[in-house]
Structure 1
Amino acid sequence: MTASRLATGGSAIDRSRPIRFSFDGTTVQGFAGDTIASALLAGDVAVVGRSFKYHRPRGIWGAGVEEPNALVDVGGATPNTRATTEPARDGLVAKSVNATPNALVDRNAFLDRFSRFIPAAFYYKTFMWPDWHMFEPRIRAMAGLGKVDAGWASPGLSDQINHHCDVLVVGAGPAGLAAAKLAAGADQSVVLVDDQLRAGGSLGHRAGEVDGKSATEWVDETVANLAANGHLILPWTTAFGIYDHNLVGLNQRHLDGRSDTLWRVRPRRIVLATGAIERPLPFANNDLPGILSADAALAYLRRHAVLVGRRIVVATNNDSAYEVAEAVAEAGADVTLVDIRRDGMPAAPVNARVLKGRALASARGKLRVEGVTLDDGSRLDADCVLVSGGWTPTIHLFGQARGKLAWSEARAAFLPGDPVDGISVVGAAAGAVCLSDVFAGVADAFPGKGSAATPRSTGPEATGGIVAAWPMPGSKGRIWIDYQNDVTVKDVELAARENFVSVEHLKRYTTLGMATDQGKTSNLPGLALMAGITGRTVPEVGTTTYRPPFTPVPLASFAGARVGELMAPVRRLPLENVHRASGAVFQEYGGWLRPAHYGGRDADADRAIQDEARRARQSVALFDGSTLGKIEVIGPQAAAFVDFLYYNTMSTLKPGRCRYGFMLSENGVVFDDGVLVRLDEHRFVISCSSSHVAAVHARLEEWRQDRFGRDAVYIHNATSEMATLTVSGPNARKLLERLKLGLSLDDADLPHMAVGHGRYGGDQVRIARVSFTGDRSYEISIRADRAEPLWAHLRQAGQALDAVVIGLEALMILRAEKGFIVIGKDTDGTTLPHDLGSEGPRAKRKTEYVGRRSLFTEEASRGNRLQLVGLTVPSGEAPLPTGAHGIDRRDGKLKSQGFVTSSYQSPTLGRPVALGLIERGATRHGETIEIQHLGKIRTATIAAACAFDPAGDRLNA
């Protein structure tokens, strides 16, 4: 027996509530308050996992988020959970990862024997020849660590909360509690978060006294006062990322089994009191089970009453391990402390032997440590080795906020450098060692708050005294730098030999500090080793970029309630119920629920659609176009803004006029089309495609923020505020005149592509004379809540004119007859404006606009580009299938030369009409090509896109 549970002690556990759970099929006993890791240690379970690449046996190293080895699958629902942060619960089922059948007996352990043949980046070199795909299936099968149970059911939707506060304090250790206390005393709202269930941080297991009170008493009192004064305290909550404008992402876990909660917090100020992480020491076989962080061992002892060994070697290069050695010796262990320093150390721990000026050369053992060899060749028996290689401040969040780091020789670590606006770093994260320094740093971060409010350390004080102990080039044996990713000293040396000396290249070549570890224990030793290899200093080597999340966040937290209709909410017309009462059959189009046709579900849909389209050409049609975008662009630079956003020049548009134009992506591809309305000198309305409203709005905001300020341009999306009712057809003007809207409809006063204003029922209406059918058309925009009376009046007045209400399917026929396109249907992800016949701005426009540069690339000028055309077939034949390909039989092979994008039977023309994208189509009008679909071949003639009223006489323009 080595590790064991002591009969007394353990501040975190409740001995009156015993629990039992299983690990790899074996029953483990513990108490409420245990983590999986502490219960496994108490049960003397040494091997808890297997390393990623070589499947070496690994034991528990840490006591928190720094743990690289003890990853477990919990209940098949949560893979790769750190055993050190997961509470042990009665009936819990945990399984080691990356091990078959279990961690103790792993069939893939033989891979370690071939480690010399599979060093860092071996797969880049080994599996490229003769073909990567030969090896890929097996490599993918072996990749990854944990597995999700396919039958797992979610406990429910994750909550997402947006919150604002004056001060967000990350970390509830002594520094964080002091900062929260000072902020609260200054009448600022505080949110205090900590990734532990209980506040206190290092005070939960390290010696300390504050304001004459025990550490526990001071922590409990401070937390109680904060809560009593209405401040928000979030235990078991990790701040995983800092994003633009100091948005902080928090992931809160729950003991009652609920899904995690995602918090999006926007504080006025962030205080990072994130502490520091203890580093390993470099020696051969330093990854054996039974080799732990010294601080973790102290935490297990004082929080969980677990003594991690009976014959313990404590190896260190700093003072912090002395408290550990004394504590485990007092608990009954036989302790030898090996300190690489020869002088300047604290007093020797009671009941512990101290070897000065010595270092560990290697550890002995197979499935667990059995002893160590010192650098002078002497050997010590040991069932546990506790190591302290110094402390690395947890500055991940500071780095995510673009904070620069500064190297400290005295601390042998990177500390926060130049301050970042709105962010303060305090405590061990800022390099403080003793409580007095911690509280002094907090006071400096809150100047003028009064020294009386600042906590004071009145008990024992920690000291540093570190002498750097980095991995050395050319070291004998296998010295592990990154436990999680199986990176050794030799791997870093190999990277250097192959010139991967940049820290970012080193990281990717060796996988050092990647995955969930994010360099918590491995980053600094790896950088120091590369510095030694290349003859540089550690700051000259630099650091990698810290990226969120700091610890893994469940995907369910990011998803929140966005499932089903909440994932892609169906948008509804203001007049939906009115259309349903009229027999509308609804379908979803671009996220909107819209009438496809009328006549009810029992009607012949094809016949109803054809009848609607025919009657629309004969008299007048009514159509609900409320889904069209109505995004207002306002401001002194609004004209310059729309010029930059559109392919066409829009600033020359006169007030009261409209213009059709394209928006392009940065790669020149047509992003959206629509009509731009200029209301006055500084106000435009963008009428974009129904399915692109959200995307266009986001795009406008993105470019406004990039090039224009709010004082120059303001954007307001009024799409949902207004309904748009369309009147189209030869008798459209007659119908509108019967409504007496208070404006002249004469063509001289309201010509095609003009806009006017009138009134209906006391409400102002905007009337745009634009057309998507090719007939005279008017789009009437009115407040959405006032649309129903107007629609009823239009229908009643239209009876005398044989008006017809049409759905979207009939409208698609009408627009296709005219050759009007639908973006995303008659275009694809490569369509440029000149492919659609719009060459003018590309050839003539000199000012800058989005996508301009991409229109002059070699690809954009390629002679065989797909171009918009019409495709005709003889009367009596069926319409061409949408998606059918035009084929080219040259060279004896079938080759696609484009495809059919839209195809309908035209009741007006008495024959099918179709649009397509065909190679060099603009120059091939009159040519007959073969069309293939599902093995059947037909012929079609390439024609102009407009098949109906090509002169535009019916527009009365």
Structure 2
Amino acid sequence: MRQPFRLPKGGLVDRSQRLTFSFNGKRLEGYAGDTLASALLANGIHLVGRSFKYHRPRGIFTAGVEEPNALVQVGSGAYAEPNLRATEVLLSHGLEAYSQNCWPSLHFDLGAVAQWLAPILTAGFYYKTFMGPGRRAWPFYEYFIRHAAGLGKAPEAPDPDDYDKRHLHCDVLVIGTGPAGLAAALTAASTGARVVVAEENPLLGGSLLDREESREWVGEIMEQLVTLPDVFLLRQTTVFGHYRQGRFAAFQRLENQKVRQRLWQIQAKQAILATGAMERPLVFPNNDRPGVMLASAARRYLHRYGVQPGRDAVLFTNNDSAYAAAQDLMDAGIAVKMIVDLRPQPPAVPVPKEIEVLTGAKVFNVKGRRHMTEVEVETNGLRRRLDCDLLCISGGWSPTLHLFAHSPGQTRYEASLGAWVPDSAQEGLQVAGAASGVFGLEACWRQGLEAGFKAVQAVGFPSPKKPEIIPPQGVTEEWSVTVPDISPIIPGKKGPRFVDLQNDVKVEDIELALGEGYRSIEQVKRYTTLGMGTDQGRTANINGARLAAEVLSRPLSTVGTTTFRPPWTPVTLGAVAGRKSETPIAPLRRSPIHPWHEKNGAVFMPSGLWWRPHYYRIQGVELVEAATREARNVRHNVGIADVSTLGKIDIQGADASEFLNRVYINHWSKLAVGKARYGVMLREDGYVFDDGTTARLAENHYLMSTTTTNASAVQSHLEFYQQMIWPDLDVKITSVTDHWAVVALAGPNSRAVLEGLFERRDVGNQALPFLGVMETELHGVQARIARLSFSGERAYEIAVPADYGLALWEALLEVGKPLAILPYGLEAMDYLRIEKGHLVVGADIDGRVSPYDLGLGGLCSQNKDFIGRRSLEKPAFHGKERLKLAGFVSTDGKTMITAGAQLLAEPFKKDTPQKSLGRITSRAYSPVREVPIALGLIAGGMEAYDRPVYAVSPVTGEQAEVMVTSPHFYDPKGERMKG
């Protein structure tokens, strides 16, 4: 018979649409609206996979995102996707699903031999085995470990599916559409606020859909919501991350569309979490048998899918909510043989006389292999056996607080629920309904209304009207979900007691970890792998913490929880990556002057995300010859370079000076308006992070210049300290890199070109001295001139709004024609700055050097604090053998020095180990000295060497004999750039 466990009527599936699918090659049928899990149960299939560690038979345990067992692969070939929860996979026609972690088949799995080895495969066995004497056998272990590792197998072919990304901005974001979420959305939307409602299921209504009587009421609410103009409904959308300042990330599963998944980035002024609660299991021997299921899951399969999860049922509980499940099972024609209640007294709830209730009792064993066949029950020392194929368990309810904890929000332990509940949240966030620890339809509805009211008030909308819809009386029962102070961990030796079903973590594993000295629940998690699977311990972590509390004789509130981090549920990398291209590409940015470079022989190279001229190929001249000619022209005449790509960060506010004082190692408060200064910033560990110049444009207004490749990193660095470390400072930061086009004009004739362009402005040495900044106009366009030099020559940087960058460039070339002006690219720029001994992030400043190593110790202020100052006091930064900046010159005047070469005291000989003295960081051919030169870091600095050393490439084997010298090869006093 097809679908033998499908009820003749009921559920929300569309029985007019019969769908064919396959599981492990077997052809089966279901209905539109089914999940893979519900369709498998309708076909009488309970065994769906094997456990990760011991390869034990596993069945469907839940009905939602918390499923630890039923992980399957869907699709084949390039379309295969592993590790999907069968409880979340929507059934579609032709769907192919396969079990995982079993070979050669699900019913006969050779990996099950691991069950016999269970006594030696305890928690931490891999640490002890592979770090002790057994490490010598690693080559033997490795082959088998790599074949056993992982749960699913990723496809080898490229992913053929399409993915997309979008952004949303809203006044109020409501996550979850149970009674609290619907009430909050209705209240907020009635004021005209822009409301986004996110629901991870195809249908809105949450737990209300699990009762036929409440579905009509949900329909009425939906009619009101969809008619409101500013309500945006996101179905099949899981909000998986909550980040600072009201930012949320979500992914949406799209059916029958070209785009398979869409990643949403949602910016919300106010957010309401109505994410509900998850039922907890009880822990007892052989609690992992197929046929053991959460009581709430059994109810959902009955009401939402019209599926009987079994024929003969027993319920095991410590709270009242399982009694509602018993009634529903019986109404659906399932024989309920007994309710086993851990509590000594029966609850004050109506129980059908046909159902036997055994109080003060426990399930101490489950029998059956591929599907349970009976349970063993004990009360007052008496034991009974009951034949059944379904055991529904309920150990209480835990509010779903993962997104709340991302914020981060503070939680507290509520003993009456045996769970953690929200305590205090960050501004702009509320929790409503079962997620807040409030249960019952009316209570959740009222709390949702109140949350919606507060949210729109905080945004500034008028007080909303009370929604006309009120919850119907008697639609859902008001069962108590409080739990007694009775351990959910049932003693017994009839079989393994699993706390974490996905990772096969047993009670004994946690006891072993605690016995070996681990006390923090975070340490226990990592030693045992408790809660480290794709389900992230949703059904395991509280029981694991409860067990730790019992073993340590500590209150559960002091044990705490493990850290909740995004993503709350696994996210496909395709959704994170977004749209695909026919050819692999990286983000590419071009300066406003890029079209001119293209037309005039520029050979481009990437610099960060920018595409910049490397050199200009004129008359077929290649790199070294072209760059040398360009650099010589700067030294003797005048050159022009496009430096629009340098990072430009605008910093304003009453505390802008103080902010820069803390960020940079040198002083900024006394910098005069109209002047610029070179600055160095460190990381907290004392190493140099970036360097550059910052100009003071007004009393409380600065413009910071950073290197091209480090611009975004510096921006993030500044924003972190502004927002998180010093939020009391009045300072505002924004990137203006794209707003300005900047042209560097360098060389002895640079002032003459500038005077020709700005005919009415005095740009002489008195009006615009070295490190001076002038704001002016050029033909009615705002312009800024800064007297800065990266080349070591007299030089200027001229900035205009980006739209006028090309016009500025062409105007400078026209004025400079009589003065032999030529453009120069990055290679020539490197030659010039190495001759001068200037630094550049990523080469010489590579994250491993301190200011003392670079000869910049004199910049470090002794009478103010700054980021990294305390680290600089460590003795390690002052050792005599530290690598320090020096210059290097090829002794024969012609052998090029390889970048990245290691410095050795003796010529390199194969198979003769030598200690490295340091490394070459930048190399060039000096146009002035006409010899190969380099900058590098060498032990003790340049003063420690009076004889040659050898620069040897570890990659190519090339070596050059070099003399250690000053890093300033040209104009060491800086007279040319100041004149």
**TM-score normalised to structure 2 length:** 0.91
Which residue among 436, 455, 480 is the counterpart of 1:464?
480
1:370 deviates by 0.9
Tell me, in whole angstroms, the C-alpha distance in 1 between the residues paired with 2:729 and 2:866.
Answer: 21
Q: In structure 1, what is the equivalent of residue 459 of structure 2? A: none
Q: In structure 2, what is the equivalent of residue 855 of structure 1? A: 872
CA distance 1:415–1:643, change in 2 (3 Å): closer
1:913 aligns with 2:933: yes
Tell me, in whole angstroms, the C-alpha distance in 1 between the residues paired with 2:518 and 2:729.
Answer: 48
CA distance 1:935–1:12, change in 2 (3 Å): same
Which residue among 487, 498, 509 is the counterpart of 1:491?
509
CA distance 1:924–1:493, change in 2 (3 Å): closer
1:88 deviates by 1.5
Higher deviation after alignment, 337-346 or 51-60? 337-346
1:116 aligns with 2:122: no
Tell me, in whole angstroms, the C-alpha distance in 2 between the residues paired with 1:444 and 1:947.
Answer: 72
Tell me, in whole angstroms, the C-alpha distance in 2 between the residues paired with 1:715 and 1:378.
Answer: 72
Q: In structure 1, what is the equivalent of residue 186 of structure 2? A: 181
Q: Secondary structure at the match of 1:738?
A: helix
Q: In structure 2, what is the equivalent of residue 290 of structure 1? A: 291
Tell me, in whole angstroms, the C-alpha distance in 2 between the residues paired with 1:631 and 1:401.
Answer: 28
Report the RMSD for the aligned CA atoms in angstroms. Answer: 2.8
Give 2:480's aligned amino acid: G
1:668 deviates by 2.0
Higher deviation after alignment, 73-82 or 222-231? 73-82
1:326 deviates by 3.2
Alignment of 1:384-783 (within 5 A): 384-418=390-424, 421-445=427-451, 453=468, 455-460=470-475, 461-464=477-480, 467-468=483-484, 469-472=486-489, 474-477=491-494, 478-561=496-579, 568-600=586-618, 602-706=620-724, 708=726, 712-783=730-801
Q: In structure 2, what is the equivalent of residue 211 of structure 1? A: none
1:73 deviates by 1.4
1:549 deviates by 2.3
CA distance 1:649–1:228, change in 2 (3 Å): same
1:42 deviates by 1.5
Is the CA contact 2:895–2:960 (under 8 Å) kept in the aligned structure 1? no
Tell me, in whole angstroms, the C-alpha distance in 1 between the residues paired with 2:670 and 2:483.
Answer: 72
Tell me, in whole angstroms, the C-alpha distance in 2 between the residues paired with 1:937 and 1:540.
Answer: 62
Is the CA contact 1:443–1:454 (under 8 Å) kept in the aligned structure 2? no
**TM-score normalised to structure 1 length:** 0.93
1:795 deviates by 1.7
CA distance 1:790–1:171, change in 2 (3 Å): closer
Is the CA contact 1:178–1:454 (under 8 Å) kept in the aligned structure 2? no
Tell me, in whole angstroms, the C-alpha distance in 2 between the residues paired with 1:922 and 1:160.
Answer: 55
Q: In structure 1, what is the equivalent of residue 73 of structure 2? A: 73
1:109 deviates by 0.5
Higher deviation after alignment, 483-492 or 412-421? 412-421
Is the CA contact 1:326–1:351 (under 8 Å) kept in the aligned structure 2? no
Q: Secondary structure at the match of 1:517?
A: coil
Alignment of 1:873-892 (within 5 A): 873-874=890-891, 877-889=894-906
Q: Secondary structure at the match of 1:314?
A: strand
Q: Secondary structure at the match of 1:904?
A: strand
Cα deviation code 1:256-299 (max 9, x no counterpart): 25332222333343333222222223321111011112221222
Tell me, in whole angstroms, the C-alpha distance in 1 between the residues paired with 2:931 and 2:246.
Answer: 61
Alignment of 1:196-345 (within 5 A): 196-206=201-211, 214-230=213-229, 231-257=231-257, 258-340=259-341, 341=343, 342-345=345-348
CA distance 1:399–1:778, change in 2 (3 Å): closer
Tell me, in whole angstroms, the C-alpha distance in 1 between the residues paired with 2:786 and 2:883.
Answer: 33
Is the CA contact 1:176–1:273 (under 8 Å) kept in the aligned structure 2? yes
Cα deviation code 1:429-466 (max 9, x no counterpart): 33444323333443554678666736133225232275
Give 1:122's aligned amino acid: F
Which residue among 963, 967, 972 is the counterpart of 1:941?
963
Tell me, in whole angstroms, the C-alpha distance in 2 between the residues paired with 1:502 and 1:954.
Answer: 64
1:412 deviates by 3.8
CA distance 1:748–1:926, change in 2 (3 Å): farther
Identity of aligned residues (%): 39
Higher deviation after alignment, 53-62 or 787-796? 787-796
Higher deviation after alignment, 53-62 or 356-365? 356-365
CA distance 1:803–1:534, change in 2 (3 Å): closer
1:924 aligns with 2:925: no
Tell me, in whole angstroms, the C-alpha distance in 1 between the residues paired with 2:445 and 2:127.
Answer: 50
Is the CA contact 2:656–2:700 (under 8 Å) kept in the aligned structure 1? yes
Is the CA contact 2:755–2:761 (under 8 Å) kept in the aligned structure 1? no
Is the CA contact 1:676–1:686 (under 8 Å) kept in the aligned structure 2? yes
Aligned residues: 949
CA distance 1:658–1:282, change in 2 (3 Å): closer
Tell me, in whole angstroms, the C-alpha distance in 1 between the residues paired with 2:646 and 2:375.
Answer: 75
Q: Secondary structure at the match of 1:673?
A: strand
Tell me, in whole angstroms, the C-alpha distance in 2 between the residues paired with 1:718 and 1:558.
Answer: 27
1:110 deviates by 0.7
CA distance 1:437–1:7, change in 2 (3 Å): closer
1:474 deviates by 5.0
CA distance 1:917–1:532, change in 2 (3 Å): closer
CA distance 1:754–1:331, change in 2 (3 Å): closer
Cα deviation code 1:557-602 (max 9, x no counterpart): 3333497999742221211112222222222223221222224584
1:840 deviates by 1.2
Give 1:924's aligned amino acid: A
Tell me, in whole angstroms, the C-alpha distance in 2 between the residues paired with 1:701 and 1:563.
Answer: 32
Is the CA contact 1:886–1:929 (under 8 Å) kept in the aligned structure 2? yes
CA distance 1:410–1:454, change in 2 (3 Å): farther
Q: In structure 1, what is the equivalent of residue 458 of structure 2? A: none
Is the CA contact 1:338–1:359 (under 8 Å) kept in the aligned structure 2? no
CA distance 1:188–1:925, change in 2 (3 Å): same
CA distance 1:480–1:601, change in 2 (3 Å): farther
Is the CA contact 1:668–1:855 (under 8 Å) kept in the aligned structure 2? yes
CA distance 1:600–1:75, change in 2 (3 Å): farther
Tell me, in whole angstroms, the C-alpha distance in 1 between the residues paired with 2:364 and 2:348.
Answer: 21
Tell me, in whole angstroms, the C-alpha distance in 1 between the residues paired with 2:731 and 2:820.
Answer: 45
Is the CA contact 2:284–2:489 (under 8 Å) kept in the aligned structure 1? no
Give 2:938's aligned amino acid: I
Is the CA contact 1:161–1:261 (under 8 Å) kept in the aligned structure 2? no
Tell me, in whole angstroms, the C-alpha distance in 2 between the residues paired with 1:289 and 1:577.
Answer: 67
Q: Secondary structure at the match of 1:506?
A: helix
Q: Secondary structure at the match of 1:834?
A: coil
Give 2:478's aligned amino acid: A
Q: In structure 1, what is the equivalent of residue 64 of structure 2? A: 64
CA distance 1:445–1:903, change in 2 (3 Å): closer
Higher deviation after alignment, 720-729 or 902-911? 902-911
Cα deviation code 1:891-934 (max 9, x no counterpart): 97422212222222233323222222222223135421122233
Q: In structure 1, what is the equivalent of residue 14 of structure 2? A: 14
Tell me, in whole angstroms, the C-alpha distance in 2 between the residues paired with 1:173 and 1:820.
Answer: 63
Q: Secondary structure at the match of 2:841?
A: coil
Tell me, in whole angstroms, the C-alpha distance in 2 between the residues paired with 1:923 and 1:876.
Answer: 22
Tell me, in whole angstroms, the C-alpha distance in 1 between the residues paired with 2:975 and 2:335.
Answer: 102
Which residue among 165, 172, 176 is the counterpart of 1:159?
165
Is the CA contact 1:826–1:901 (under 8 Å) kept in the aligned structure 2? yes
1:129 deviates by 0.9
CA distance 1:184–1:609, change in 2 (3 Å): closer
1:364 deviates by 0.9
1:51 deviates by 1.2
CA distance 1:895–1:191, change in 2 (3 Å): same
Alignment of 1:790-801 (within 5 A): 790-801=808-819
Is the CA contact 2:897–2:959 (under 8 Å) kept in the aligned structure 1? no
1:346 aligns with 2:349: yes
Give 1:808's aligned amino acid: L
